[in-house]
Structures are given as structure tokens and as C-alpha cells.
Chains A and B, each alone.
Chain A
């Protein structure tokens, strides 16, 4: 009984300390983004809330098992020169403990499935409804081996390039963007046998979506922070699904700019042709 009380106290104290440390970690950056980084979009914010919540759930479980391992190593350890003797207690079942364990593990799993998973998914699904994304900037994203190509049909930009001729993604902040994701090669006649899956990923936005040959997939996204690859290397487009030898190099620069900067950039790009 004595060990049980000590264990209980240590577990509560350890969990509280753990939760305190986790919260400090989570709050070490604005909006609870401490450990997560990928939060500069509406979808990324859903992810970070899930991540933070799960850290709080995981801490007491982690402390419970680790404390039990430490108890086994120090409290229940057989003395070195003691002869091998049976443990004094030979409890082979404890209905209260087993029952509590099973009930708690079922409830905990149902909880984290409902929240943050199902509740977060509801937000993700809602964010993908066209009605919730008025007046989006449409960006056609074409993935080929191994290049990201961005075109802006509303602005008559067929391929957005920077001064050195590299593909660049510009998008306005706080305005819905409709990414139209396709995998093919606009520079050659279509070769079905070399068309592969790519992953459209912007680490800073906290979201990725795969680009499947033969399918057109839509991703609605709203960037919430001004950023560019030059100032934040996580603000980049990176292929996340292995797509052949050029996969590590399949990235593009990203600029999230204000509405007026975006309009000026689009005008200049369109003028370049």
C-alpha cells in the first residue's frame, strides 16, 4: 500500500511538472507554436492545435510508464547478494486495476479520435468547401520530374519565374488560394509511363497533399503570415513523395506578400509574358 501512495504522489507531481514543461515549450512561440513550426496557414493552425493537445494527453501516460520502470529498477529491485526468493506478493489479477486500465484506454482513444482528430478534420473539410473560400487566387500547380511549375490563369501568367529563371510561388497573405494540383510535363508530349506521384508540401504551412497522375486535386489554403524562403527556409515548396533521382532537388521558392505587392508582382510577371 505504501508504494502505491508514493507512486500516486510521484505520478501526479511528475505529470504536473511535465504538463508545466510541455506548456512552456508550446508557449515558447506565439499561438502555441513552440514545437511545431508549420503554422503559417489556416490548415497549419488546425494541425498545431491537435499537436499541442496530444502533447498534454501524452505527458501523464509517459510519466506513468517511465515512473513504473524506475520503480521496478530501484524500489522493487532484488538486493545483489540476496538468494533468489519469490516476490512476497503473488497477485495474479486485480479486477479494479485491469478494469480501470481498459476503460481509461478506451475512453482516451475515443477522446483523441473525436478531439482533436474528428473535430480538426471537420475544420479541414470546411476549409476545403468552395463556398468558404470566396474570390480565391487560382494557382495551377504542375509537378513534373523534377520541377514545380506555377501558373496564374486569372493573371495570364503561364509560368511564374524569378529573375534567375527559377520557378517561384507568390501568394497574397490572408486571401484564399485555390491550388489546382496536377502531375504532367507541359514541355513534352505526355508520356504516361513516366508520370509519377509527387507531394505538394510547404513545411511552413503545415500541410501537404499528394499530386496523383491522371487526377486533378484541389487544395484551398489561406496563408496567414508574410514570409519568404529567404527569411524562413521552411517557407518553401518541397516535394514530399519520393519521385526519382531528382526528388531531393524538387523544391521552389515561396513568397507570401501583401495584396498590393502581389498585384504589382502579377502585373510585372504578366508583362514578362
Chain B
């Protein structure tokens, strides 16, 4: 039952029999798996048109590649062989190589997720730069055919949603910090967690390489019935998203179980840190909705390969759209809930003030989670029956009430605080500003008569970039600067941190405020060419977008520099109270020498407030732990 994080055993260098580093071996075995499975498919289902690569073969080959990749990366030694009675080999616990192999330590896995998200953020961001370059002119320049451009849009959206927005703060920060914050030494299912992270690079490569199989033009939503007649690359969109969502699903199950069962003594629900609440609500959303979208994508894929006529005139042309948004709207709350939780985590620490109305802040997260499944069809006002418009606009308006609770708690905390205006603080305040614009423009979109004009224009594109970049990415950056001393024991330069924050804030608003105006002027989505009168505005939007891209690069370089070479800093530089700061930085493999006991609230400040944490002196605590 117990899953030790480390084992006394031979040195990893000498025990290694594999001739290749795991990542390279994964690639090799993936190639073998692809060839074997694709050949099997070609043998069982020969095509008269193509001797080897067929739609069926590409799908079968992908599953072979997935199996080969997961086995090659370490699943063979660490999962399959132990199942057959062989002893589990040790995992590397130090050195940079541990990030490129199978790991059991939730902190290593968290950093693996963060690295994958950041790398994908760069790839999808470069695609966005290419899109903005194209849109500087009203005629084709960079993308000579619209399908090239539309395929870029689809890859940009898919990667950003499924690898960055839903992963960075959950698989990344959640895996790293939730066990530390609730006072445990490991997560509930470390083996599954160690495998799940390797589905991310597989999913990213699958989606990014999908045009090789045939260009697709549907954007990230894969709308039917277009999808069934669109390029075969959509098969790899379905499969890539399948890998990415499976990864997120394992994270959700693992972190939910960890929060439910592995909290340290005294960590009652009323004392659970806000970030853990955020991750818990997000994970419940993921557990409910990710299987739903996976089922939908399986139907879409079967429909494309067979075809089954599920989503065309012989079936239900709007069926896919309803199924997609049934997941798709909870998805945006999956993105933003950890961000809202981070605000309540950082502001009390920086303001030296007790968190205001904590129960309301938690209730806000919970009610957003509950309501998020009732608003989805507002993406389809131009498609639906009149009778559906009133209920869906009602719930859409109503979800702003619990979302507002996040603002209520932070604003109440800010009032009369002693706010230290550090880079994380600044980024949280910027995130509040951006998400406010995202929320207020949502009022216009939730209004059905106005929606009939604004739907599928750049107004909508501006709106969701304000919520996702403005809300989530800014909060992610705030969290990275806030926890940087925890990750590495080093800190960032306050000058470069603030410069980077102000840079992205200005460039972000200069870019995306223009989107609202463009949308009102009649700029629609998914166009690489557009009427000439929109060119001047698009041109300046693109210039701002390039500054935004440079701003993100500056922040990433700065964070990486600070992580590696930044000035050393004391253990708890912000004087925060939550448990992750009660161990050394970076934390040891087993997190805590002695598991802390919680005796009070982490969010209460003031004169004479006792320390919320007690470190037991008895030996009992250490004996119970493995190793």
C-alpha cells in the first residue's frame, strides 16, 4: 500500500541497463509501436488507395506509439515489471536528469508539468505571433491558403486550452504545492501521477504534428459536421486531446484523493488553504467533465473513420456542438478557479491582513463549480431554439454572482491592509483588472439580442483572451514569482519582475482592447483575409501583440534566470503562514522531517495571533513514515 518515494538501492547510474536515456528510448519505442500497430491495421483493413498510411492505420499506429512511449519512458521498469513480481527500481532523486525520467516525487512531477506547459505556451504563442503577422494585411502574406491559417488557429487554441490553461496551475502548481500545503509527504497515487505527466508531451506533439496527416480547419472546437469532411489531421486532434485530457483526469483523481485523505492532523475543511480548495473544485469539475468530452471525441473520431453519420443531416447536426459545450463551458472555469484561489492566497500574505470573508470565498469557488454545468449553451445562441435562450442567459448572468465572491474576499482584504507592492502583488492586481474586463464584456455577450451581433466576432475572441490570459496567465505568473523562493531557494529581481509585469500588462491591454473594437466593426473569427477597411486597426493590434509576445519571453527568461542564478533568499521571505513555507527551500524529497500539526487559521493576522502550526517534538511522527 505505501508507496515509498525513495528506496535504498543501488546507485541509479550503476543499476541502469537501458542503453538510452528514457526520453530517447520512449521515442524509439513509440516509433516501433507505431510501425507495428499501423502494419497490423494495414493487414487487417487493407486500403486500395494507400498501401500503408490510412485513417484506421494512423489511429491504430497512434495507440501503438502511445504504448511504446509510455513503456519506453519508464513504464516498463516502474509499472509493468513490478506488476509481474519484480522489485520496483529506485527513482533518481537528484540532478537535472530526474526531470527527464519517470518520477514519483510530486514536486518533480509538478515541475515536469510546469516545464511542459511553459514549452507549449511558447510553441502556441509563436503560432499566435504568426497569426497576428498574417492579420497585419488584409490579403494572404504568410499563410498562402486559408486552410494553413485555420489549422494554425486550431493548433494554437487546442494547445493553449488543453496543455497550458488547464494544466499549468493544476498539474503544475497543484501537484507541486497541494501536498506541501496540506502537510503530506506524497500524493495518493504517485505511480499513476508519474506516468500521467508523460502523456502531455505525447499529446502536444500529436496535435502539433497533426497537419502532416491532413490540414484541418475547424479551430479548437472541432465542430461537426465540418469535422467529418475536414482534413484527416483532425484524427490527431482527437487523439492528442485524448492524451492531454487523460493526463488532466489522472491529476484530478490523484489530487482529489490526496486532499480528501492525506491532510495532516488538524487540517480541517475550515483550515484548508484556499489554493487547495481551488484545486479540489477544479479536480471535481475535471472528474465530471473530462470523460464527457473524451466520449464526445471518440464519437467524432469514429464518425470520421467509419463514417457513422452521427452528426450530419442523417444524425443530429447540432449534437456535437451541444456535447462539446457541455464540457466546454465548465472548461473555462477549470481554467480560472485556481487563479481566483491564488488571489486569496497571495493578497493576505502581502497585505499582512486576515483574509476577509473566507467562507464566502470558498463558497464562491464551490458555487462556480456547481453552476458552471448550467451555462454552456450560451455559446450557441445563434443556433438554438428561442425557448432555450431565456434559461441559458439566466444561468449565464447568475454565475457572475459567485465569481464576484472572489473579488469580494480580495477587496475586503485589501481594504486598510499594509500592502507590499511586490511583483506577485502587482500581477494579482493586474489579473483582477483584466478579469474584470473579461467579466464585464461577458455581460454584453450573455445578452441574447446583442449576442446575435457579437457572436463569432473578435469581440468574443477579446472576451475569452481577457479571461484566460488576463485571469489565468497573469495569476500563473503571480504564483511563479510568489513561489519562486520555494522552488529554488532563490529569488527574482524586483526591478525586472515589475518591468516584466508592467510590460505584459500594457501590451496585453493594447492588443486585446482592440479586439473588442474590431469585433464591433465587423471583424469575424477564423479569417486569414478580411475586408480592407479593417486593416489599419488590425495592423496596430499586431504590433501590440508582438510586444506582448516579447513581454512573455522577458518574464520567462527572468524566472528561469532567477530559478538558476538568482540571489539566495531566506526560507520564508514573505512571512507566509501556509505549510509549504514550513520546510526548507527547495523542499526535501519527503517534504517534512516531522509532519506539522495545524492548530489555527493560516489566514489570520494581527497582534498576538498564535502560530497556526505546531511541529510535534515526539518521535512518533517520523517513525510512521517510510524510509
Which of A121, A209, A213, A233 is within 8 Å of B522, CB to CB? A233
Given the known interface contacts A47-B450, A90-B604, A193-B307, the answer about A76 and B416 at a Cβ–Cβ threshold of 8 Å is: yes
**Residues of A close to B444: CB separation below 8 A:** 50-51, 54
Question: Does the CB pair B354–A92 fall under 8 Å?
Answer: yes
Q: What are the residues of chain A within 8 A of B407 when measuring CB–CB?
A: 65
List which B340-369 residues lie within 8 A (CB) of chain A. Answer: 351-358, 360
A12-20, A36-44, A132-140, A159-167: which lies at the B interface?
Answer: A36-44
A3 lies within 8 A of chain B by Cβ: yes
Taking a contact as CB atoms under 8 Å apart, the answer to whether A109 and B522 are in contact is: no
Is A210 positioned at the interface, with any CB of B under 8 Å from its CB?
yes
Q: Mark B446-475, 1 if CB is under 8 A from A, else 0.
A: 111110110111000000000000000000
Knowing A72-B414, A207-B452, say if A112 contacts B522 (CB, 8 Å): no
Instruction: Please indicate which of the listed interface residues A69, A94, A195 has the most CB atoms of chain B within 10 Å of its own CB.
Output: A69
Complex Cα distance, B533 from A3, in Å, reads 48
- Scan residues 114-158 of chain B and give those whose CB is less than 8 A from a CB of chain A: 145-147, 150
- Measured CA separation A61–B437 after assembly (Å): 10
Closest approach, in angstroms, between the C-beta of A125 and any C-beta of chain B? 6
Contact B449 A124 (CB under 8 A): yes
For residue B615, CB closer than 8 A to chain A, the reply is no
In A147-162, the 8 Å CB interface with B consists of: none
A78–B146 CB distance below 8 A? no
Question: Contacts of B448 on A, CB cut-off 8 Å?
Answer: 117, 120-121, 124
**A213 neighbours in B (Cβ, 8 Å):** 225, 312-313, 317
Tell whether, in the assembled complex, residue B520 and residue A35 are in contact, meaning their CB atoms are under 8 Å apart.
yes
B358 contacts A47, CB within 8 Å? Answer: no
Give CA–CA (A91, B398) in the complex, Å. 28
B405 to chain A, nearest CB (A): 8
From 92 to 139 in chain A, residues with beta carbon under 8 angstroms from any chain B beta carbon are 92-94, 97-98, 101-102, 105-106, 109, 112-113, 116-118, 120-121, 123-125, 128
Write the nearest CB–CB distance from A113 to chain B, whole angstroms: 5
- Tell me the bound Cα distance from A69 to B434 in angstroms: 12
**A248-B528 in contact (CB<8A):** yes
Q: Which of A78, A102, A105 has a CB less than 8 Å from the CB of B420? A: A78
A residues less than 8 Å from B418 (CB atoms) = 76, 78, 82, 85-88
List the count of A-B residue pairs having beta carbons below 8 Å apart: 280
Task: Tell me the complex Cα distance, A88–B313, Å.
Answer: 67
* A76 touches which of B356, B382, B419, B457 (Cβ 8 Å): B419
Is A120 a contact of B404 with CB atoms below 8 Å?
Answer: no
Residues from chain B with Cβ under 8 Å of A177 in the complex: none
Q: Which of B281-315 contact A (CB under 8 A)?
A: 307, 309, 312-314
How many angstroms between the C-alpha atoms of A87 and B420 in the bound complex? 11
Query: Which of chain B's residues 388-430 have a Cβ closer than 8 Å to chain A?
Result: 389-390, 393-394, 397-398, 400-401, 404, 407-408, 411-412, 414-421, 429
Kindly list chain B residues whose C-beta atoms are within 8 Å of the C-beta of A196.
225-226, 229
Q: How far is the CA of A89 from the CA of B604 in the complex (A)?
A: 11
Known: A98-B357, A213-B313. A245 touches B150 (CB 8 A): yes
Contact A212 B353 (CB under 8 A): no
**Is the CB–CB distance between A117 and B397 below 8 Å?**
yes
Given the contacts A117-B447, A124-B449, A247-B217, A209 and B394 also touching, CB distance less than 8 Å: no
User: Does chain B have a CB within 8 A of A73?
Assistant: yes
A21 within 8 A of B: no
* Cβ contact within 8 Å between A248 and B383: no
B323 contacts partner chain A, Cβ-Cβ < 8 Å:
no
Are A194 and B449 touching (Cβ within 8 A)? no
The smallest C-beta distance from A83 to any residue of chain B, in angstroms, reads: 10
Question: A242 to B223, Cβ gap below 8 A?
Answer: yes
B10 within 8 A of A: no
What is the bound-complex CA distance between A192 and B229, given in angstroms? Answer: 10
A193-B229 in contact given A72-B429, A208-B453 (Cβ < 8 Å): yes
Residue of B146, B414, B449, B607 touching A47 (CB-CB under 8 A): B449
Closest A residue to B606 by beta carbon equals A90
B63 within 8 A of partner (CB): no
When distances are taken between beta carbons in the complex, the residues of chain A under 8 Å from B447 are: 50-51, 54, 112, 116-117, 120
Closest-CB distance, B78 to chain A (whole angstroms)? 43
- What mask results when residues 242 to 254 of chain A are scored 1 for a CB within 8 Å of chain B, else 0? 1111111101000
Contact present for A43 and B313 (CB under 8 Å): no
Q: Which listed residue, B309, B352, B449, touches A117 by the CB 8 Å rule?
A: B449
A252 to B318, CA, bound (A): 26
Which A residues touch B455, using CB under 8 A? 208, 240
The answer to whether B83 has its CB under 8 Å from any CB of chain A is no
Beta-carbon nearest neighbor of B228 in chain A: A193
B397 touching A109, Cβ below 8 Å: yes
Find the A residue at minimum CB distance from B574: A84
Min CB gap B149→A, angstroms: 8
With A87-B353, A109-B401, A121-B449 known to touch, is A73 a contact of B421 (CB < 8 Å)?
Answer: yes
- Minimum CB–CB distance from B238 to chain A (whole Å) comes to 17
Residue from the list A47, A195, A244 in contact with B217, Cβ < 8 A: A244
In the complex, which residues of chain B have a beta carbon less than 8 angstroms from the beta carbon of A208?
382, 452-453, 455-456
Cross-chain contact A3 with B416 (CB below 8 angstroms):
yes
- B351 proximity list for chain A (CB < 8 A): 72, 76, 87
Which residues in A have their C-beta under 8 angstroms from that of B457?
240
Which residues on the B side are within 8 Å of A199 (C-beta)? 382, 456
Q: What is the distance, in angstroms, from A207's C-beta to the closest C-beta of chain B?
A: 5
Shortest Cβ gap from B307 to chain A (Å): 7
Beta-carbon contact of B605 and A86 below 8 Å: yes
Per the bound structure, the CA–CA distance linking A3 and B414 in Å amounts to 12
Report A267 CB to chain B, min CB distance, Å.
30
List chain A residues, Cβ under 8 A from B411: 65, 68
Report the Cα distance A208→B460, complex, angstroms. Answer: 14
Question: CB distance B228 to A245 under 8 Å?
Answer: no
Cβ contact of B400, chosen from A50, A109, A197, A247, cutoff 8 A: A109
Instruction: Report A162 CB to chain B, min CB distance, Å.
Output: 17
| Complex contacts, A73 vs chain B, CB 8 Å | 419, 421, 429
The reply to whether A247 and B312 contact each other, CB–CB distance below 8 Å, is no
Among A76, A123, A204, which residue has the most Cβ atoms of chain B within 10 A? A76
Given known A37-B521, A213-B317, contact A248–B146 (CB-CB < 8 A): yes
Chain A residues near B419: list those with CB within 8 A.
72-73, 76-78
- A270 CB to nearest chain B CB (Å): 30
Closest-by-CB residue of A relative to B383 is: A210
- Give the residue name and chain of the A residue nearest to B225 (CB): A196
- Chain A residues whose C-beta falls within 8 Å of the C-beta of B453 in the assembled complex: 36, 38, 44, 47, 203, 206-208
Known contacts A54-B443, A62-B440, A106-B401: does B226 contact A77 (CB below 8 Å)? no
Does A244 contact B226, Cβ atoms closer than 8 Å? Answer: yes
Give 1 or 0 for each of A48-80: 1 = CB within 8 Å of chain B CB.
Answer: 001100100110011001101101110011100
16 contacts between A and B (CB under 8 A): A38-B453, A54-B450, A65-B433, A68-B411, A86-B607, A101-B408, A113-B398, A116-B449, A120-B449, A197-B317, A207-B453, A213-B317, A240-B455, A242-B219, A247-B150, A251-B531
Report which A residues bind B (CB closer than 8 A).
3, 35-38, 43-44, 46-47, 50-51, 54, 57-58, 61-62, 65-66, 68-69, 71-73, 76-78, 82, 84-94, 97-98, 101-102, 105-106, 109, 112-113, 116-118, 120-121, 123-125, 128, 192-197, 199, 201, 203-204, 206-210, 212-215, 233-234, 236, 238-249, 251
Known: A73-B421, A196-B226. 10 other contacts (CB 8 A): A3-B416, A37-B521, A87-B605, A94-B357, A109-B398, A121-B389, A128-B386, A201-B524, A233-B533, A246-B146
